[in-house]
Structure 1
Amino acid sequence: MVLTALVGAANFKRANPRSDTFTSNRGFHHIEFWCADATAVAYRFCAGLGMTQREISDTSTDNRTYASRACVAGNLKMVFSAPYGSGGWTTAGKVAKRAKREGGEKEAVPYHEVAGDATNMHEFVRRHGTAVRAVCIEVEDAQAAFDAFVKGVDDKAVVEKSREGAVVTPLDGTRAVVLPPTRVSDERGEATVAEVKLYGDVVLRFLSSPGGCGAWTCVPGYRVTPLPVSPRKPVVVRADHIVGNVFDLLAQANYLMKGTGFHEFAEFTAEDVGTVDSGLNSLVLANNEENVLLPINEPTYGTKRKSQILTYLEQNEGCGVQHIALSTPDIISAVIAMRESGSFEFLEPPDAKHYYGVDMPSRLKKYANSDPSLQLSEKLIADCERLGILIDRDDRGILLQIFTRPVSDRSTLFLEVIQRIGCMHFDASVKAEVQTPGCGGFGKGNFKALFASVEKHESAMRVA
């Protein structure tokens, strides 16, 4: 299937053709950030999200290319990596090892011996600042996933062009292949890892092991460490979805659909979500199990104000991950804890009186006669208003959401904290009640409020 145009939220009909080209029913495994100082960024996220550092990779593990800290909260795994100095600190023989991988060498090695070199990492950080480098999904067979992806896209990544037609050259070249399937190991076992381009300088990482990959927070080759234990309980438990900003939505979506077989889960056009001044087009891709959700946005042009998506693309020097949505079972407690930590600041609704007094109640009113279990209490609504949490729902469930300000100095990456309510069903495979992925939608009713909040922030920062 090739997408040629978006039809908009009102005309979109969701269907799951179960068209994946490989098995990825275990969902997101980890998210890796590249940054200038892994220690500082990891400590900040641990403090703000209640994460605990579980593993490290650095000179103590014979990694002389970069320092890396792997942190966990529930099923959420985040990895923060920063390069050492270029040149002499690059692992000797790494280029030769990668060449042998291309030639089919099968020796199992620590991941850092075949990962990106320090020069590449330094250039990534120069271009993007603190940003997501890898979105890792656990698959049944990384070799099979890699083969299917590369065959589907003919080993050609999307050629990214700015609005003016300038080609944005990715760090890893124009091929889809970034890292061929590689056996990696440590004392806990062996796994296979492979990487292909997702968009921009972000890679889609495939990870598999015969016994599952739960033993590792990242990939084999890290050293388990008990330090530091977070003084807070985890406030989030997993990644719900990971959103990318690109120049050409249809080109990127078709590329990923050809490689993965993922299907369209939702879509929104500028008419659905834009403000008067600017807008975006967006669609969501999902795997068969719909526990890997990858929304993609593109900017619209010709509006009074520059789209916030275009501002991102300029500040990020190309395509990349715009935000990560983190799921919590209790958003009220999560937001309070994050604010008390001082690690993250939140956006505020631009017109709280109108949003909570008129806009949000009018959207919820049409569901007044629906499932009683999906009716929000007056106290919960009051708490949401007090904390600036947005409320939306669809015919299946309720979505509570709030967004942080950008996590670094650039107006690029930010976090979303969400709680989904409803859509519970019994899953015989795990013998428990589980929630249907995407329950309550993606906040279509809140897009305008979010856009206005971001525009207000960008105006204050004078980056729009």
Structure 2
Amino acid sequence: MDIRSIDHIELFVENAEETATGLRDQYGFAVAGRGGARTGLRGCESVLLRQGDIILLVTSATSPYHRAAEYVGRHGDGVGVIALCVEDARSAFAETVGRGAVPVAPPETFGPGGDQVTFASVTGFGDVEHRFVSRDRSGGPFAPLIEETGLGRSGEGLFTQVDHFAVCVPAGTLGETVHRYEEIFGLRQTFEERIVVGSQAMDSKVVQSASGRLTLTIIEPDVTRDPGQIDSFIEAHDGAGVQHIAFLTEDILTAVARTAERGVRFLTTPPSYYGMLKPRLGPIGVSVEALSELNVLADRDHSGVMLQIFTESRHPRGTFFYELIDRRGARTFGSNNIHALYEAVERQRATNPTGLD
């Protein structure tokens, strides 16, 4: 099975219009379509958003029997579906079910010949499903019952694609989750790391598709140590789930400045971090003063430099948030910044444990 890319992400939320408006006004996504009772969509309302190669489908339930209602009731707003672009959704469904995936929705094809789209879904981790999508042609209709406007489909261009998902899983399940993605979905492990911050610790492994377009950083807490933010996520989210989505940008300084002006709040970093940046990394091709002003983190690996920043969680449970990442050759995930992130999240939890004002 060849996973070509992430076709779209479906967010299950309490209020689709409100969430979509925030993503439009703060992050620069374009509203590209809508679906609901008027278009024949049953049990839910959805808003389609686009920016670069990123497609978000924001869905809220209008019926207690829709899956979004169950998801939001248990977890709150979050990622319910990571949809994968494949050559043949029917074949991908049969292959993964044959390898042990639990079917969610059997293959179904929509649209006229030459412009068809096929969907089929299986379980992923926690309550997140993977929807296989194959299309007769790129740029065709997104999905049945979603009425597309065709206006502003590319958004503002702040972000180009999804870089990775950070996934939190309960303690003791990291190995089996990685094994599941290797055996069922054909991903391969590319990295692993143990992070110790004070009296807390966590273990992580990265799995990636052969195309490099689907990357999951899977993290579990070390319960032999003091409880920390990964433990808190698992408890507040009620099980495994996506902690954050990382959006790739070609100009992180502009992306941070623009989104901050529109109300996005980012985690802050102590000035001492920037005092050590030049001795630690050497020349990185960007002003340390500019990074410090915007609280952007920097790291280097054997392939280049990476710049990144994390938003504060605005989730009522203090769980889900976003990352902005600018890769200037680097292929890893900012290992040396994990401590800074961890400490910043701990400061947010101490001052504002719910994530809200």
Structure 1 counterpart of 2:24: 46
| Alignment partners' CA distance in 2, 1:220 and 1:39 | 19
Structure 1 counterpart of 2:121: 195
**Alignment partner for residue 237 of structure 1, among 160, 174, 177?**
160
Q: Judging changes above 3 Å, is the alpha-carbon distance between structure 1 residues 463 and 345 closer, same or farther for their aligned structure 2 residues?
A: closer
| Alignment partners' CA distance in 2, 1:312 and 1:328 | 26
Task: Classify the secondary structure of the residue corresponding to 1:122.
Answer: helix
**Alignment partner for residue 452 of structure 1, among 322, 343, 348?**
343
Q: Judging changes above 3 Å, is the alpha-carbon distance between structure 1 residues 361 and 315 closer, same or farther for their aligned structure 2 residues?
A: same
Task: Classify the secondary structure of the residue corresponding to 1:336.
Answer: helix
| Alignment partners' CA distance in 2, 1:299 and 1:192 | 38
Task: Classify the secondary structure of the residue corresponding to 1:290.
Answer: coil
CA drift at 1:121 = 2.2
CA drift at 1:265 = 1.4
Task: Classify the secondary structure of the residue corresponding to 2:223.
Answer: coil
Q: How does 1:353-372 map to 2 (within 5 A)?
A: 353-358=271-276, 360-365=277-282
Task: Classify the secondary structure of the residue corresponding to 1:385.
Answer: helix
Structure 1 counterpart of 2:180: 255
Task: Classify the secondary structure of the residue corresponding to 2:348.
Answer: helix
Task: Classify the secondary structure of the residue corresponding to 2:235.
Answer: helix
Counterpart of 1:140, as a letter, is: E
**Alignment partner for residue 145 of structure 2, among 174, 199, 221?**
221
Q: How does 1:405-424 map to 2 (within 5 A)?
A: 405-422=312-329
Percent identity over the alignment? 28
Question: For structure 2, which runs of at least 5 residues remain unmatched after alignment?
Answer: none
- Note if 1:300 corresponds to 2:230: no
Specify the structure having the higher radius of gyration (Cα). 1
Q: Which structure shows the bigger proportion of residues in strand conformation?
A: 2
Task: Classify the secondary structure of the residue corresponding to 2:318.
Answer: coil
Q: Judging changes above 3 Å, is the alpha-carbon distance between structure 1 residues 188 and 81 closer, same or farther for their aligned structure 2 residues?
A: farther
Structure 1 counterpart of 2:70: 123
**Alignment partner for residue 329 of structure 1, among 239, 244, 250?**
250
| Alignment partners' CA distance in 1, 2:347 and 2:112 | 49
The answer to whether the 8 A contact 2:316-2:354 is kept is: no
| Alignment partners' CA distance in 2, 1:286 and 1:43 | 31
**Alignment partner for residue 99 of structure 2, among 139, 144, 152?**
152
Structure 1 counterpart of 2:237: 316
Alignment RMSD (CA, Å): 2.1
Normalised TM-score (structure 1)? 0.73
| Alignment partners' CA distance in 1, 2:99 and 2:114 | 33
CA drift at 1:146 = 1.2
| Alignment partners' CA distance in 1, 2:158 and 2:112 | 31
- Note if 1:23 corresponds to 2:2: yes
The answer to whether the 8 A contact 2:308-2:323 is kept is: yes
Structure 2 counterpart of 1:172: none
The answer to whether the 8 A contact 1:393-1:440 is kept is: no
CA drift at 1:461 = 2.5
Counterpart of 1:277, as a letter, is: S
Normalised TM-score (structure 2)? 0.93
- Note if 1:246 corresponds to 2:163: no
CA drift at 1:303 = 2.0
